[in-house]
Chains A and B, each alone.
Chain A
Amino acid sequence: MNKIFVGCCLALVIIGILRMERTTKETVNVYGWYGIISNEILKDFEKDTGIKVIYDVYDNNDSLEAKLLATNSGYDVVFPSFIPYAARQCAMGVYTKLNNTLIPNLKNTQGAITEKFQKAGGDTTRMVPMFWGTIGIAYDEEAVKTIFPEAKEVTYDMLLQPENIKKLSRYGVSFPEEYIDIFPQTAVFLNLLDDGSFKTPEKIKEYVKHFRKIRKYIKKFSSTTLIKDLLSGEVIVAIGCSDNAWRAIQSAKKVNKKIKYVIPKGYATLWIDCIGIPEKAPHKENAHKFVNYLLRPEVAAKLTNNTGILVNIPEAHKYFDKEFVNDMQVCPRDNEMLSEMIMGNPSRNSDDIRTDKMATRAWSQIRMNDFDYLGE
């Protein structure tokens, strides 16, 4: 009987290994964030082209980068964040040159966001600036009203001015996890923003000095748990991205809460996520087809309606949910608003990388509330 048991185990292992080696029909391997591309879209694409999409998920850009840099990742289409990841990976030659004849829909992406992307040094021949959003403030409207009855909306003045945030701190304020989502606004607040980078050594010192005053009023640093934090009442104000805020607004309705999202004028920061095809992608042609499919206005609009992440396709706007389009804070449209948005510059040389490291260190000091060592 035991012989049979061992035999069964062996057979199953062998079957398992053999089954993995089987080749299937035409496929494209996509590696992206959880939930940005719904199964419905993947199925429609398969129906349309006969190509099966194998969709895998990662939880942060670093996992993606590790896979991409470890040579042949096996993936055909990936969605890295532009700064600093995609910019850096592109400079390392991770992405292949896009074949424009295979992606006729590439013309749909022209617009203010693409201009911003190019101005920040984005290479549109290798990456498509596809997804974007803003960093702003999401808050529980009623709760904030009880503390600041006169205020129309939450401003960075409330969050960065020590005496103001002190009042909010009793109910919880959350800040983003990464410095890139808060240092630009701090620079504006401290009147430090000029044409240059927001992270020069002098400026970083100023930020640290400022955060030293308000650190004790910040309840947590988190970018991913915004929805849960606001809905459960753990915090009443959270700085975070527009797509999370939009989903929080939607979920809040179901539990009779009112959450609002604002990008205060002059403080709006922009983030962009790209589409790239790795140099060693095993199914390059299918990858181009998939990218072309995603760039169709009606498909792209579905992405936005599912997630709240904006797509850089002006024509898709007419397919957006009405409610979404009407919220100018979540879905900013006019060109003036877009051109005003702050966007960092990717690091280009060793000096930039040094200041990057300094900013990272400064931010972790702030987060850990350990200001003893104010690095040079």
Chain B
Amino acid sequence: MLKVSKTIIAMLIFGYAFLFTPILFLIISSFSDSEIPGNWTKFSLRWFYEVLEDEDLVRAMITSLKIAFISASGAVILGTLAAVATTNTGIYFGKNFLTNAIVVPIVMPEIIVGFSLLMLFISMESIFQFPKERGVMTVAIGHIMATMAYVHMTVRARLLSFDKSLEEAALNLGARPLTVFFKIKIPVISKAILSGWLLAFTLSLDDLVIASFLTGPGSTTLPILIFSNVRIGLSPAINALATMIIGIVVLCLIGVYLLSKPKNGKED
């Protein structure tokens, strides 16, 4: 048994409390019967039923999940390809520039990303008649642009520690570069891809700024709806919704953990 000093335990408790108290408080208050968010009266599930009956909330949640899914998938594809390109040992024109430029969306304020994309879509519309209307697709494009850099970072980190000799051996044995990519590289970096996907998914689900610039008819996302809701006075249904989302996220995380658990105690 490892001996742990009291200071470390205290720090640990403080750290966890700092991280999880607000979430815990939110989860507890979502089970309250009270009309006022954050006020405990008695246990009830009524706000959960109310969430499921509220068409606007459910529709906004579906829109948000759809956008998050599309943009996470798109970001993973583009981000992975970018990472492969920037870690390529070959020297080609503009490689350094690409490596640095791809990080720009991370450091760029979201409001500028959103506004510049809006301007782009407006001028594209007047020149090419496309996109005809802003909506789910334009928001997804914005999110792909913003989250691609994060996927690139996670995948690139994995690729940098990737054993080059595996690739060389495969090539030596007659595998074509594409086969090497799918049979060697993708399996090795699959965990990085998965975590990149989850990261992009969460970032997209969470985004308000870019979305509020790029939405059009029929694409109100959940964050926009919650923000608009404030005018009427926040209902405890939002707490219940948040609890549901946390529940889903926790389930996903457990799933990911079980999937990525090293088999036979061996790490890949």
Interface of A toward B, CB cutoff 8 Å: 2-3, 6, 9-10, 12-13, 16-17, 20, 29, 31, 33-35, 39, 54-59, 63, 66, 70-75, 224-228, 231-232, 244, 247-248, 251, 254-255, 282, 307
Contacts and interface: CB of A to CB of B under 8 A. Distances in A.
A301 B140 CA distance: 39
8 contacts: A2-B186, A17-B70, A29-B217, A35-B229, A39-B56, A70-B118, A74-B134, A74-B217
Given A20-B136, A231-B35, 13 more contacts: A17-B137, A29-B217, A34-B228, A34-B231, A39-B56, A55-B56, A59-B224, A72-B122, A74-B134, A224-B233, A227-B233, A232-B36, A255-B35
B247 interface: no
Interface string B215-237: 11111100011011111111000
Contact of B77 (A3, A9, A73): A9
A6 B77 contact: yes
Interface of B: 34-39, 55-56, 66, 69-70, 73-74, 76-77, 118, 122, 125-126, 133-137, 140, 182, 186-187, 190, 212-213, 215-220, 224-225, 227-234
Contacts of B218: 29, 54, 56
Contacts of A35: 229, 231-232
Given A2-B186, A9-B76, A247-B232, A34 B216 contact: no
B217 A54 contact: yes
Contacts of B126: 71
B239 to A, nearest CB: 13
B73 A70 contact: no
A120 B84 CA distance: 63
B55 to A, nearest CB: 6
B125 A228 contact: no
B144 to A, nearest CB: 9
Taking chain B's interface residues, is the majority helix, strand, or loop, or is none over half, making it mixed?
A: helix
Contact of B215 (A16, A56, A71, A282): A56
B122 A70 contact: yes
Given A2-B190, A74-B134, A56 B219 contact: yes
Most chain B CB within a 10 A radius of its CB, from A16, A247, A307: A16
B233 A244 contact: yes
A12 B73 CA distance: 8
A30 to B, nearest CB: 8
Contacts of B135: 20, 74
Contacts of A6: 77, 186
Contact of B231 (A10, A59, A255, A282): A59
A134 B114 CA distance: 36
Contact of A228 (B74, B133, B134, B233): B233
Contact of A13 (B73, B186, B229, B231): B73
A47 B21 CA distance: 48
Given A39-B56, A59-B231, A13 B133 contact: no
Given A59-B224, A232-B36, A34 B229 contact: yes
A22 to B, nearest CB: 12
Nearest to B141: A17
B55 A39 contact: yes
A9 B73 contact: yes
A195 to B, nearest CB: 33
A2 B77 CA distance: 13
Contact of B228 (A29, A33, A248): A33
A27 to B, nearest CB: 8
A20 B137 contact: yes
Contact of A71 (B122, B136, B232): B122
A58 B228 contact: yes
10 shortest interchain CB distances as A-B pairs: A29-B217, A227-B233, A34-B228, A57-B228, A59-B228, A54-B218, A9-B73, A59-B227, A2-B186, A74-B133
A34 B231 CA distance: 8
Nearest to B70: A16
Nearest to B56: A39
A227 B182 CA distance: 57
Contact of B36 (A9, A29, A231, A307): A231
Contacts of A2: 182, 186-187, 190
Contacts of B213: 66
A283 to B, nearest CB: 10
Nearest to B212: A63
A12 B69 contact: yes
A113 B180 CA distance: 74
Most chain B CB within a 10 A radius of its CB, from A2, A54, A63, A73: A2
Contacts of A66: 213
